[in-house]
Copies of this chain bind each other. A is one copy, B any other.
Amino acid sequence: MTDKPKAIILLSGGLDSTTCLAIAQSEGFETYALSFRYGQRHSFELDSATEVAKQFGVVKHHIAEIDLRAFGGSALTDADIEVPKSRSQEELSKGIPITYVPARNTIFLSFALAWAEVLKASDIFIGINALDYSGYPDCRPEYIEAYEKMANLATKEAVEMGRKLTIHRPLLNLTKAQIIARGLKLGVDYSKTITCYDPDSEGRSCGQCDACQLRLKGFAVNNIADPIVYQKDK
């Protein structure tokens, strides 16, 4: 038992959420990690999340099982839809890509909200960022502000007990390069993280999907080699 305030961290096992977890701990929170088996194309990210959670010594790591494949509508939950590769900067900036998963952050935050209420935690961390991102609507500041407002009207803890919930988004205005720099300063070991939308059967990243491109650029700007294995390295 500690006197530290508790925080839930949405942990995908990627670079952003791992940095987010490091930031939450550096700010003195007792951390609870929440991941989802939601029907994503590959489960390497859950292996990563499990490794990362262990490395950081979170109090508890919960993997919620929710099947979003039943609804479909995304390249990340439907193996028949191809993940776009090697898109140009111009293509990247054009609209919301097919890797968008309908209402994903809304669903993830809602589970975090439930867990926060039971733990009597007032803090949730989410590693979204509005720069160097893929154009997802549920990664924008106005979305998170509206979510926070709704959440503070939704629960017994907020409404009856006056426990105001804060959704921390410490990466919101950072570029991918700045996120990596921040994490390295906090001692994050990025070798356990995975970012790729479409790794091969051995979990090696493709290096060409939007997510890999942003990640590689971020390491390049920091003049540091990305410690994970890419398919071209094999």
Contacts and interface: CB of A to CB of B under 8 A. Distances in A.
Interface of A: 62, 64-68, 70-73, 95-96, 100, 102-107, 109-111, 113-115, 117-118, 137-138, 140, 142-143, 146-147, 149-151, 153-156, 158-160
- The SS class assigned to the A binding surface is helix
Contacts of A153: 137-138, 140, 142-143, 146
A170 to B, nearest CB: 20
A114 B110 contact: no
Contact of A150 (B62, B64, B71, B106): B106
Contacts of A67: 64-65
A156 B100 contact: yes
B156 A150 contact: no
A123 to B, nearest CB: 15
20 contacts: A64-B67, A65-B67, A71-B111, A73-B118, A95-B160, A96-B156, A102-B118, A103-B111, A103-B114, A103-B117, A107-B111, A110-B110, A137-B153, A137-B155, A137-B156, A137-B158, A138-B153, A143-B150, A146-B154, A149-B150
